[in-house]
Amino acid sequence: MSSKSSPLLVSTGTVLLLLTTVLYVAISHQLTPRLTDGRFHIENGEWIPFTDTLPPSDTPQYLDLAFVLQLNPLHTRYYQLIADDCIEALAVNEQLIGEGVIPFCDLSRGRTFDLGSAIHSGNNVVAMTIQNVGGPASFTWRIAWWDPLLLSLRILLLAGLLSGAVLIAKGLSFSRWQNLFFGTFCFGVFLRLFYIFATSYEVRAYDADGHLEYIRYVAQHLALPSVRDGWEFYQAPLYYMLTGLWLHVGTAFGRALPILTRDTQWFAFFASVLTLAGIAWIATTLFKPKEKLERVLFFGSLAVLPSLLFLSARINNDVLLFLWEVLCFGFLIAWWQKGRWITWWLAIAMLALAILTKTNGLLLVPAAFTLLIFKRKLALKTKTFVGVTSVFALILLTGWIFTLRDGMSLDQPLVVNTGNLSPGLFVNNTVETFTEFNPLRMIVRPYNNPWDDASGRQYFWEYFFKSAFFGEFDFGLALRPLASAVLTCGLLMLLYAVCGAWMCIRREGLRTLPLWSTAGWLLLGHALHRFTTPHSCAQDFRFSLLVSVPVTFFAIRGLHFIRSPFRRLLGIVVVLASIVLQVVFVGGIIVTM
């Protein structure tokens, strides 16, 4: 930063950011419809009240629904309707809607309707018939993303945030490279903002309703459930306590359940932004000030990685776990580099929060204590004292979730519900499934399918690598060529990462121990989890998201060790191409939705 910094510009930019955010929240709250007085009946049976769930069925059946749609004076006119499974009829204020469109069956996109002539401010009576062909029944009623009023509001939000960011950058008088680094952070935030705008909670989710059930239980009872009473109830409680408390307070103030569900997504967004800031901090500690290009390439690669981006709209404990893991990792690096004990204890605090959020955080315990064991210029007596004290602190802070919770005991697996997974997810444990890594097979079939061997789901490393970009989801034929290109660049970056890791171990040794030690422990733990829980879904990269940080570091570090100017330039081009392709891919996801 220059000495020409302007506190006035920084203050103005900050106020603009806050004011824009507050106005967006206030106006969007006014636009959000409320669904109340819901009732349903089956085949002319009695009317039964419902709030957010409908009864499942083993056989096809029709459900007649009625509810009140409450609208404020400022409201939208275009609404998207999605049902599981089909919409057979729809009327608003006794006016038939969707002639020529209804009936329809489309669980992914549903249909969008212009209700401008049928609705008014106040109470609107909606009648609907849903066909459930079997299994769960549900419907989603939300504002269409391209409604002119909502779209204008979001454009104003983006303009205000962008203006505030520019004012802050101008006020701090950043250098060219600092502007590029700050711009990368802002771009990552805006990309996440676009993503959450376009993504409802059930899209690219992992049992979102199960996690919502946990959150709602905590909100209603202000207590933790028995671990056996729900599919996700065995999970560590911190995420559910925080979101459940917000749900409890919001309900007390009359905030509607759909709005509170959306609030939970915004919780994920803000956690994702804080995580992005943590990664930016790590970039400044791993790369020297003169390594400006390396910092930007490292940060940019992680800012657009789809598996990290998907967290910004997701409802599950991964969103909070990754934040604690990144902060813990950052403090461990800071302690390793400078030896300040405050950073060690902050790392232990973040580690405890990670374990309290999800038991995957336990994999960072051996990573942290490996650093303590190999720390130079530290007496054995000091190491022993710090190690024992740290273990005692972790047990004191987290041990209760393994012993004192209702239904939890030390003689059961950490992941309680694995015994109830579908047999269709089972994969074999063989030498081939843990050693094969076929780039051509991955490029030809870039998407994972946890149910189909033809996708390569039985090969641990292939599934793991592909899920770093695409999770377990199929994004369709239109995006498949782009997905293959993303994987191709990722595979080329992996070559540089292998080179960088090898050269770091050989030439820099213990200086980069936090990177390769953490990556090693996380990968080993994930492989053991897959071995002991032989299901395709156990291979997903989301269980080891922190691996992305050291692997990306080694890929960028590999460029530094390459002597050939051509190969170094080629590596830079590959990294830049990877960033661009991933941005285009995410844009394609948003557009196709």
Write the DSSP symbol of residue 430.
-
Rounded-to-integer distance, Cα 299 and Cα 275, Å: 12
Domain residue ranges of the chain, discontinuous segments joined by +: 35-145, 184-403, 422-592
- What is d(CA 6, CA 3) in angstroms, rounded to the nearest whole number? 9
Closest listed residue to residue 79, CA positions, set 124, 26, 130: 124
Rounded CA-CA distance 88/62 in Å is 9
* pLDDT computed for residue 4 by the predictor: 74
Q: Is the pLDDT of residue 108 over 80?
A: no
Instruction: List 71's β-bridge partners, or say none.
Output: 122
| CATH (residue range 35-145) | 2.60.120.260
Helices (H), 222-317: 238-252, 257-286, 292-303, 306-309
pLDDT band at 409, cuts 50/70/90?
low
pLDDT value, residue 230 = 86
Task: State the pLDDT confidence band at 408, using cuts at 50, 70 and 90.
Answer: low
Instruction: Give me the pLDDT at residue 258, please.
Output: 81
Distance CA(256)–CA(252), nearest Å, equals 10
* CA–CA dist 425, 534 (Å, integer): 8
CA nearest to 188, candidates 95, 35, 312: 312
Task: Indicate the pLDDT class of residue 256, thresholds 50, 70 and 90.
Answer: confident
Distance CA 130, CA 65 (A): 8
In total, the chain counts a number of residues equal to: 593
Q: CA-CA distance, 237 to 218, in Å (whole number)?
A: 9
CA 552, chain centre distance (Å): 19
For residue 512, pLDDT beyond 70: yes
Residue 379 has pLDDT above 80, yes or no: yes
pLDDT (average), residues 176-194:
96
In the prediction, which pLDDT does 3 show?
57
